[in-house]
Structure 1
Amino acid sequence: MGHDLPQPRAVLGGLPAYKPGKPPTPVAGLTAYKISSNENPYAPLPSVLDAVRCAAERMNRYPDMGNTALREALSTYLGVPAEWIACGTGSVAVLGQIVDAMCDAGDEVIYAWRSFEAYPIVVALAGAFSVQVPLTKEHRHDLPAMAAAVTDSTKVILVCTPNNPTGTIVTDTELRTFLGRVPPHVLVVIDEAYLEFGTDPAAPDALALLHEHPNVVVLRTFSKAYGLAGLRVGYAVAHPEIAEALRMTATPFGVNLLAQEAAVASLAARDELEVRVKDLVAERDRVEAGLAEQGWVLPPSQANFVWFPLGEDTPAFAAACEEQALTVRPYAVDGVRATIGEPEASDRLLDIAAAWRAARH
């Protein structure tokens, strides 16, 4: 492209591409399963679908820019004032709002690596600088190293728990110690996209930490446990001045009419949704037990996926799955993430994993 033409920002040239889960590859005689995007395998609840259908009749009108009904419903559910809540088009968009609200060009954002692959993208787009702190050999956040990485330029720290893609958590005790070491002017984002799948009693009580620390933000989504991935709605809970800043950096009218109605209806139907979450957790436990029996040593998952730390074997294992019409999510030469979905997909994953190990041992 000649320099007499419009030039996009140079930062885009070095931006890592966000890789969505590939669609399943058809293989003759096999049902294809996509377990690469951490989607909820269940169809929408009838009550949620009804709310969306009703809302669709008004889609010639703008949605409520203030997300009033949704913030009120979340306020009741979470036991925090509505002014503490900011919404966006999925938690990834709210993450972008946080970085846009807090960072000037050259400011630093600390996060573990490997973690959610959108982190380096939203940081770079804001003109900020990523400080990636390697996970421990147990595939967990190294919170002492992250605290030690804080400089005068640090504005935000991202803590993903359960961590995507490794499924590991930080404990409440670890996070409390960490918050005691982080300067109070540095914003700490506790990214809990997979919170509902966790059963470990040692996991953090993020809302309690939020009440105790004005520099904490809790980030959550309706995409995973609530099964609204296709509608894009997430939210942050923060102290009022931070929440207000996040509403200022949001795309106006971003959370659409259908998404707002579906999220409110989902909160009302959470007893039904909890049954589904429990079923997915039981399926995850079954898959983990089956893999352990085969001899795999995987990090214990508190999310709706399992992590195979395969290193250089990552592309080959993903290809072996692809040949059996099972689409998993490979991460370069770090490992493969496999979503817990339909039991049939889990059975096929277990079969492929068993054959893989048998061929190598």
Structure 2
Amino acid sequence: MAALYPAHFKISTVIRPNILALQPYRCARDDYNQGTLLDANENAFGSSIVASASTDVLPDELKETLSMNLHRYPDPSHPAIKERIASLRGLSGADQVFLGVGSDEIIDLLIRVAVVPGGTEKILTTPPTYGMYAVCAQVNDVGVVKVPLELSGARGEGGAHGRFSANVEQIKQAVVADPAIKLIFLCSPGNPTGTLIPLASIRALLEFHEFKGIVVVDEAYIDFAEDVQGSSAASLVEQYANLVVMQTLSKSFGLAAIRLGIALAQPPLIQILSNTKAPYNISTPTAHLALSALSPESIARMQSVVSGLVAGRTALIAGLSELAPFGVGPVIGANDANFVVVPILARPTGAEGAQGAPDSVRAHAVYKTLAEERAVVVRFRGHEPGCAGCLRITVGTEAENTEVLEKLKDVLGEM
């Protein structure tokens, strides 16, 4: 077996000893999945769901689901799905792919396999970022070290957008100062920043010999980036043993309801996640839909939809810029995702309508009024570092984008 790269990384020192020694639960379907199956204590008479009950008729879209042998446990490994994902992301095989119940299961699993609970060992995050990293850390009783993203380009100066970037040098300093950090979580494109982290920055952390742990790159929004193949850390997986890339079918594929998360990594790490997960974590209906979504025709459809959303993002940003007289500041971030983040400024004052600073109180009031009185729901992010006064607005359909702009203008005009 070839030596793992980089040389300073040893999986045996990163993964908890009890996990390395774990004898994984062996599912009935790991051995056989055809024939007269009397090995898993399933209900041989089938599902108890009937086509009609009282006056409720089963919806047509669920009838196909009932034909999927729901009384049988699902495939525990789903190799066909993994092969399609590996092909889509330019990897050499299914053994570099892990499937989870959304990315959240993968985040939790990574913390559980690598970080000893009790608060001594830690993860590192780069706020503003996805909140589940810290939530899973707290659930697992591990510490969190925070190295905030840098915001360059003052908002409002010549109309320039603020740009978030990972402070690689500060991250390096943090892991040197605290060797108990086992995982670095990077969100790229960021949530809520919408900003890609350059592959050069990710490489710098993977190569940093003082950090013996794993770099986790969360790419939930990667398909909305301009150059997906050139921007994705998936291109680094086959080189770096200390890298995990997370992706999902929730965003670009439009399948948030089926909860299918993806981890891409070298086989030893994938095997550890597989040994630790729940035995049948991906349901049969989820697997069926995921396999369909990863067909060539569906991937082409996804890419077409993404193009439409990117065009809508451009139009939404243009529309928000026209609301500057009402106190909407320039969009922040680099806009590589399917949302935009804008600061709501203090109410314009004076004859010339001079703009104030980002105003979280006003932004929160706008958020509440939009939701409760105008039936338009956006996300208040004003308490995140670097996001004072900010609202996060998902790119919708053309009609939805028009609606949010019109109603945002109306609400701002009232407060």
Instruction: Calculate the TM-score normalised by the size of structure 2.
Output: 0.70
Partner of 2:406: 351
Task: Give the distance between the partners of 1:110 and 1:70, measured in 2 at CA.
Answer: 31
Partner of 1:230: 257
3-state SS in 2 of match to 1:235: strand
Q: CA deviation at 1:355?
A: 4.3
Partner of 1:331: 381
| Native 8 Å contact 2:172 2:208 kept in 1 | yes
Partner of 1:145: 170
| Percent identical | 26
After alignment, is 61-70 or 74-83 more displaced? 74-83
Q: CA deviation at 1:52?
A: 9.2
| Native 8 Å contact 2:115 2:182 kept in 1 | yes
Q: Are residues 336 and 56 of structure 1, via their aligned partners in 2, closer, same or farther at CA, if it must alter by over 3 Å? A: farther
Task: Give the distance between the partners of 1:202 and 1:262, measured in 2 at CA.
Answer: 24
Q: Which amino acid aligns with 1:337?
A: R
Partner of 2:184: 157
Unaligned runs of 5+ in 2: 1-59, 152-162, 345-358, 385-389
Query: Which of 362, 365, 376 in structure 2 is aligned with 1:316?
Result: 365
| Mapped pair 1:85 → 2:97 | yes
| Mapped pair 1:298 → 2:327 | no
Task: Give the distance between the partners of 1:276 and 1:55, measured in 2 at CA.
Answer: 29
3-state SS in 1 of match to 2:257: coil
After alignment, is 328-337 or 296-305 more displaced? 328-337
Task: Give the distance between the partners of 1:86 and 1:336, measured in 2 at CA.
Answer: 34
After alignment, is 50-59 or 220-229 more displaced? 50-59
Query: Which of 127, 132, 138 in structure 2 is aligned with 1:118?
Result: 132
After alignment, is 203-212 or 161-170 more displaced? 203-212
Q: Which residues in structure 2 correspond to 1:258-277 (within 5 Å)?
A: 258-268=285-295, 269-277=298-306
After alignment, is 64-73 or 267-276 more displaced? 64-73
| Native 8 Å contact 1:172 1:202 kept in 2 | no
Q: CA deviation at 1:182?
A: 5.8
| Mapped pair 1:102 → 2:117 | no
Q: CA deviation at 1:235?
A: 1.0
Task: Give the distance between the partners of 2:183 and 2:272, measured in 1 at CA.
Answer: 14
After alignment, is 72-81 or 149-158 more displaced? 72-81
Q: Which amino acid aligns with 1:282?
A: A
| Mapped pair 1:242 → 2:275 | no
After alignment, is 186-195 or 54-63 more displaced? 54-63
Query: Which of 53, 63, 73 in structure 1 is aligned with 2:84?
Result: 73
Can you list the C-alpha shifts for 1:6-33, whole angstroms capped at 9, x where unaligned?
Answer: xxxxxxxxxxxxxxxxxxxxxxxxxxxx
After alignment, is 297-306 or 349-358 more displaced? 349-358
Task: Give the distance between the partners of 1:51 and 1:260, measured in 2 at CA.
Answer: 15
Q: Are residues 56 and 131 of structure 1, via their aligned partners in 2, closer, same or farther at CA, if it must alter by over 3 Å? A: farther
Q: Are residues 153 and 259 of structure 1, via their aligned partners in 2, closer, same or farther at CA, if it must alter by over 3 Å? A: same
Partner of 2:5: none
| Native 8 Å contact 1:166 1:337 kept in 2 | no
Aligned-pair Cα RMSD in Å: 2.4
Aligned residues: 312
| Native 8 Å contact 1:171 1:203 kept in 2 | no
3-state SS in 2 of match to 1:214: coil
Unaligned runs of 5+ in 1: 1-48
Partner of 1:62: 73
Partner of 1:9: none
Larger Rg: 2
Q: CA deviation at 1:192?
A: 0.2
Partner of 2:317: 288
Q: Are residues 187 and 254 of structure 1, via their aligned partners in 2, closer, same or farther at CA, if it must alter by over 3 Å? A: same
Query: Which of 124, 133, 148 in structure 1 is aligned with 2:147?
Result: 133
After alignment, is 209-218 or 327-336 more displaced? 327-336
Task: Give the distance between the partners of 2:169 and 2:189, measured in 1 at CA.
Answer: 18
| Native 8 Å contact 1:55 1:258 kept in 2 | no
| Native 8 Å contact 1:63 1:253 kept in 2 | yes
Partner of 1:34: none
| Native 8 Å contact 2:68 2:284 kept in 1 | no
Q: Are residues 149 and 56 of structure 1, via their aligned partners in 2, closer, same or farther at CA, if it must alter by over 3 Å? A: farther
Q: Which runs of 4+ in 1 moved over 4 A?
A: 49-52, 200-203, 355-360
Q: Are residues 231 and 279 of structure 1, via their aligned partners in 2, closer, same or farther at CA, if it must alter by over 3 Å? A: same
Task: Give the distance between the partners of 2:125 and 2:302, measured in 1 at CA.
Answer: 31
Q: Which amino acid aligns with 1:176?
A: R
3-state SS in 2 of match to 1:127: coil
Can you list the C-alpha shifts for 1:11-63, whole angstroms capped at 9, x where unaligned?
Answer: xxxxxxxxxxxxxxxxxxxxxxxxxxxxxxxxxxxxxx989935753211111
Q: Which amino acid aligns with 1:71?
A: K
Instruction: Calculate the TM-score normalised by the size of structure 1.
Output: 0.79
